[in-house]
Amino acid sequence: MRDLLKIVSWLRARRVVEVGHGRNLRYLKELMRLGIDAYGVEIDIQHVRRALNEGIPSVNADAIKESRWILRTLRPDLVYAVRPPVELAVGLIERYPTVALKMMEEERYELPESLVRVGGWLLHCVRFSHFREKPKKP
């Protein structure tokens, strides 16, 4: 969580979207606790209902097929996913300007090169100008 918060801070992200939150809502809960406008995008309606029941904004959508709607409606500064399938990760990188991914180590080589790695997170960003300060590669 600490590394995701570093990325959120570098980007000065005020609106963040988690793709595929599933049953694990801890990232969204913590972001909301810190005053970040956080949303979940989930394809499984049962997980969306659970999030809504816990007071977490979540929409039932396919993050790839409905990326234009998500960008236009939710206007995220950052889209992130925790351990998505490689195909979803690549799709997110292709469709959103700023993406943070927490991938399994063996899957990282299948992705385009990230801008920077922050702990277990890979940050794919259109340009460094999104940053308050240029992060250092580890």
* DSSP code string of the chain: -HHHHHHHHHHT-SEEEEE--TT--HHHHHHHHTT-EEEEEES-HHHHHHHHHTT--EEE--TTTTHHHHHHHH--SEEEEES--HHHHHHHHHH-SEEEEE--GGGGGGSPPPSEEETTEEEEES-GGG-SSPPPP-
Determine if residue 83 is left, alpha or beta; phi over 0 gives left, psi from -120 to 50 gives alpha, anything else beta.
left
Q: What tokens were used for 66?
A: 């409905």
pLDDT at residue 25 in the model: 96
pTM given for the model = 0.90
Give the residue with greater pLDDT, 126 vs 27. 27
Residue range 86-111: mean pLDDT, rounded: 94
Non-local (6+) Cβ contacts of 88 within 8 A are: 19, 20, 63, 64, 81
Residue range 52-73: mean pLDDT, rounded: 98
pLDDT at residue 115 in the model: 80
